[in-house]
Amino acid sequence: MNSRETSIKRAEELGLYNLPYEEARKNIVTGTGGAFREWYSVQKEKIMSMLGATDDDWDNWIWQFRNRTDDLDFLCEVLALSDKEREEINKVAEKYRWAITPYYLALINPLDPNDPIRRLSVPSAAELEGTGQTDPMDEEHTNPAGVITRRYPDRLIINVTNACAMFCRHCQRRRGIGGYDTDSGAQLIMESVQYIRENPEIRDVLITGGDPLTLRNGFLEDLLSELREIRHVEIIRIGTRTIVTMPQRISWDLVEMLKKYHPIYVNTQFNHPQEMTREAITACNRLANAGIPVGNQMVLLRGVNDDKYTVRLLNHELLKARVRPYYIFHAKQVIGTGHFTTSVDTGIDIMEHLRGHTSGMAIPTYIVNAPKGGGKTPILPQYMLDRDENSVTFRTWEGKEFVYPNH
Ligand code: SF4
C-alpha cells in the first residue's frame, strides 16, 4: 500500500469515529434548531401577551429583570402544569426562592416534562428530599474582610449581590439567595476594596454574587474604577449567568463601559445546547467584539447534560460563539440539589470521550471541588499506565499503548 492509500484508509477509519456523535446530535435540541425556534416563538408571544409587553420591552434587560416571574398562577398557565405540579412547587417555594425571566421561561418546551431548561429553572419536589450541606465549600470561614471570599494565594472573589436573573434549581450557592434581593452595600464593598489595596499579592479579582450583572452599570463602574486604581490588580473577572438567562443584559452600553477597564474577562455557565439561542449568541459576540474573553463553566447535572454527546455539542456551539469551554464542575453536595448529582465516573467518561474525538479547544478541565474550601482539583482519565526513572508507559485516546523515555 503506498502512502496515499495508507492515508485514505486512516482517514476513513477516523471518519467512522464520528458516526455515533453525528447520529446522537440529531436528537439533541439546540437553541438555534428549527424545532426549538417553533415553540420558542409561540411561548414568547404567549408570555408577551400575558404581560402586555412589546418587542422593545422583551429586548430590554430592565424589563426582563423586573418581570422575573415568581407567580405560580402565571407559571402554571405558561407551562400548562398539573395540580400536582402546582402543589409541589408551592411546597418547595416555602423553603427555596424561585424566579425565572420571561426570556428563559420561553426556552422551555411546554410539551416535554423532561425538558432540560425546565429542570434547571422550575422547582421540583426532589429539592425537598435527600441530604447535603448548606455550605460545603466552607465559604463562611474564607471571608477575611467585607464581602470577600479568599481561597487561593493570588486571587479572590467579591460577592456584590445575592440577586440573580433566574434562581437556578441546581445553584451551588443557594444558601446565599435568601428571601429577597439585596446588594452588599457600599460599606462592605469599600471594605473589600481596601483589603485588596492592602494585599499586594492579589493580582486577580472575580466580581460575583449572586449575579453582578443584575446591578446597574453605574454601580459596576464605580467598583471597576476603584479596582483599576490598584496597581497590583492585573485582571478583573466577572462571573455572570445573565448571558444565558437574560442575554438582553449584554447591551451596547454595558460593553462600552466594561472595555474601559481592560483586561476584563467574563465567566458564564451554559449547561445545555438548548441555551445557545440567537439572543445568547449575540450577547457572546458583543463581549468578544469588545475584546472580552468569555469562558464557560458548565456544571455536570443529572438529567441535563450527563451525556457525552450533549457536552460535546455544547462545547462546539460555544466555540462557534467564541466562548471557550473552560471548566466542567462536578456538582457539590449542596442540600436541595442532590437529584442533580452524578457520579465522578460519569464526568471521567465524558472527558474520556472528548479527548481525541474533538479539538483541545473544546475540552474543558473537569473539576471536583475539594470539601471545606480545599480548592479546585482537576480529575482526568488515566493516560499514564506506568512510570519509572527510565520510561513512562501511556495510552492514547484510541487505547494504543506506548513506552516513552523518561530522561
Ligand atoms: S446564576 Fe449562579 S448564583 Fe445565581 S442561582 Fe444561578 S447558579 Fe446560583
Average pLDDT, integer, range 5-27: 96
Average pLDDT, integer, range 82-90: 96
Helix spans in 270-384 (H): 278-289, 308-320, 344-354
Pocket test for ligand 1, best of 164, 174, 183, 246 (most atoms within 8 A of CB): 164
Sign, Cα dihedral of 192, 138, 220, 254: positive
Q: What's the pTM?
A: 0.96
- Residue position matching grid coordinates 479568599: 150
Q: How far apart are CA 315 and CA 296, in angstroms?
A: 9
Average pLDDT, integer, range 201-209: 97
Average pLDDT, integer, range 111-124: 97
- According to the model, what pLDDT value does residue 401 have? 97
* Cβ proximity of 142 and 149 under 8 Å: yes
User: Atom 6 in ligand 1: which residue has the minimum CA distance?
Assistant: 168
Q: How far apart are CA 227 and CA 157, in angstroms?
A: 12
- According to the model, what pLDDT value does residue 1 have? 83
- What are the pocket residues of ligand 1 if the criterion is a CB atom closer than 6 Å to any ligand atom? 164, 167-168, 171, 173, 210-211, 241
- Closest Cα partner for 351 from 392, 306, 316? 306
CA quadruple 118, 119, 125, 129: dihedral, nearest 10: -170
Q: How confident is the model at residue 173 (pLDDT cuts 50, 70, 90)?
A: confident
Q: From the centroid of its chain, how far is CA 251?
A: 20
- According to the model, what pLDDT value does residue 177 have? 82
CA 315–ligand 1 middle distance (angstroms): 20
The cell for 137 is 465549600
Tens of pLDDT, residue by residue over 272-313, are 999 999 999 999 999 999 999 999 999 999 999 999 999 999
- What atom of ligand 1 comes closest to residue 173's alpha carbon? 8
Tens of pLDDT, residue by residue over 215-258, are 999 999 999 999 999 999 999 999 999 999 999 999 999 999 99
Average pLDDT, integer, range 376-383: 95
Tens of pLDDT, residue by residue over 324-364, are 999 999 998 899 999 999 999 999 999 999 999 999 999 99
Phi, psi of 52 (to 5 degrees): 60, 40
In this predicted structure, the answer to whether residue 175 has a pLDDT above a threshold of 90 is no
- What atom of ligand 1 comes closest to residue 164's alpha carbon? 4
CA 3–ligand 1 middle distance (angstroms): 54
Q: What share of the chain is helix, strand, coil (3-state, %, to 5)?
A: 45, 15, 35
Q: What is the DSSP string of 103-120?
A: HHHHTS-TT-TT-HHHHH
- Closest Cα partner for 27 from 18, 15, 36, 16? 36
In this predicted structure, the answer to whether residue 136 has a pLDDT above a threshold of 80 is no
CA 287–ligand 1 middle distance (angstroms): 20
The cell for 206 is 472575580
State the SS3 of 166-235.
CCCCCCCCHHHCCCCCCECCHHHHHHHHHHHHHCCCCCEEEEECCCHHHCCHHHHHHHHHHHHCCCCCCE
Sign, Cα dihedral of 204, 207, 208, 213: negative
Pocket test for ligand 1, best of 96, 97, 100, 167 (most atoms within 8 A of CB): 167
Give 400-404's long-range contacts (Cβ < 8 A, gap of 24+). none
The cell for 193 is 476594596
Q: Which residue(s) pair with 207 in the sheet?
A: 158, 238
Question: Which of 57-71, 113-127, 236-250, 369-383 has the weakest average pLDDT?
Answer: 369-383
In this predicted structure, the answer to whether residue 131 has a pLDDT above a threshold of 80 is no
Q: How far apart are CA 332 and CA 349, in angstroms?
A: 18
- Residue position matching grid coordinates 407559571: 75
Give the list of residues 6+ apart from residue 340 with CB closer than 8 angstroms, or none: 119, 169, 170, 299, 301, 302, 303, 304, 331
Average pLDDT, integer, range 148-167: 95
- What atom of ligand 1 comes closest to residue 299's alpha carbon? 7
In this predicted structure, the answer to whether residue 165 has a pLDDT above a threshold of 80 is yes
